[in-house]
Structure 1
Amino acid sequence: MINFKTDERLKIRLPDLTRDWHEYPPHQQQRILIEWEKIRGTIPDRIKELEWEIEMLLTDLSEEDDFERSCLINEWISDRASAINDLWIWYRTNPEIHA
């Protein structure tokens, strides 16, 4: 049975495959895909949350006078933008069942 583990950075569950996708029998692939589609459907909302966080951070950055704090805020923005990119990659991941 396939486990799905929560990725703390992305805040979604990801499949924890122990072997190559094509090595799973079709009935297991089907079960994995059903669960993945449920998770995949939550990704756009997670992206919206991160975009909102970036907007708030950009507001903070525009009001920040301290250089070191500005660098820290930029790092947070970069981390969230990176997570959005990774979420889009996962969203586009769509394995197929092989008989």
Structure 2
Amino acid sequence: MEKHFKYNKRLGIPLPALVKEWESYTKEEQQKILLHWEGIRGKIPDRIAEIEEIINHKQTLLGNEQDFPRSCQLNAEISDHASVINDLWIWYRMNQNISNKGHY
């Protein structure tokens, strides 16, 4: 199944990387891809929780930070992590029926 998914370093999960139109896959291949995706999708809330812990830690650091440039850096890092969470939620909520979406 790994040939149908590519690890996304930013999000920390594999994402679908289909090389042809969904309809070109056999029904059996489609089912295997969907099953594999559901396994990945089920881990997204845990990944989000991990990132939320990182954000909480950085917010604590930010609350005690006196150095303005370091505060700006921490704010940027928090923003980047929040963006990853947003993208993960988009993937999590994505329609489970990939056939309606075509290929990625």
| TM-score, with length taken from structure 1 | 0.89
Identify the residue that residue 95 of structure 1 maps to in structure 2.
Answer: 97
Identify the residue that residue 78 of structure 1 maps to in structure 2.
Answer: 79
What code does the residue aligned with 1:71 have?
A: C
Aligned partners of 2:22 and 2:98 also within 8 Å: no
Counterparts of 1:86 and 1:39 in 2: how far apart (Å)?
14
Deviations 1:34-68, CA, capped at 9 Å, x for gaps: 10011111000000001111100000000111111
Q: What is the CA-CA distance between 1:20 and the residue it aligns to?
A: 3.0
1:1-99 equivalence runs, <5 A = 2-93=3-94, 94-96=96-98
RMSD between aligned residues: 1.7
Counterparts of 2:40 and 2:90 in 1: how far apart (Å)?
14
Counterparts of 2:18 and 2:60 in 1: how far apart (Å)?
40
- After superposing the two structures, state which structure 1 stretch, 12-21 or 34-43, moved more: 12-21
Q: What is the CA-CA distance between 1:26 and the residue it aligns to?
A: 1.9
Percent of aligned positions that are identical = 52
Choose between structure 1 and 2 for higher RCO, CA contacts under 8 A separated by at least 6 residues: 2
Question: Where do 5+ consecutive residues of structure 1 fail to align?
Answer: none
Q: What is the CA-CA distance between 1:29 and the residue it aligns to?
A: 1.1
What code does the residue aligned with 2:73 have?
A: L
Counterparts of 1:97 and 1:17 in 2: how far apart (Å)?
11
| TM-score, with length taken from structure 2 | 0.85
Question: Where do 5+ consecutive residues of structure 2 fail to align?
Answer: none
Q: What is the CA-CA distance between 1:23 and the residue it aligns to?
A: 3.5
Q: Aligned residue pairs: how many?
A: 98
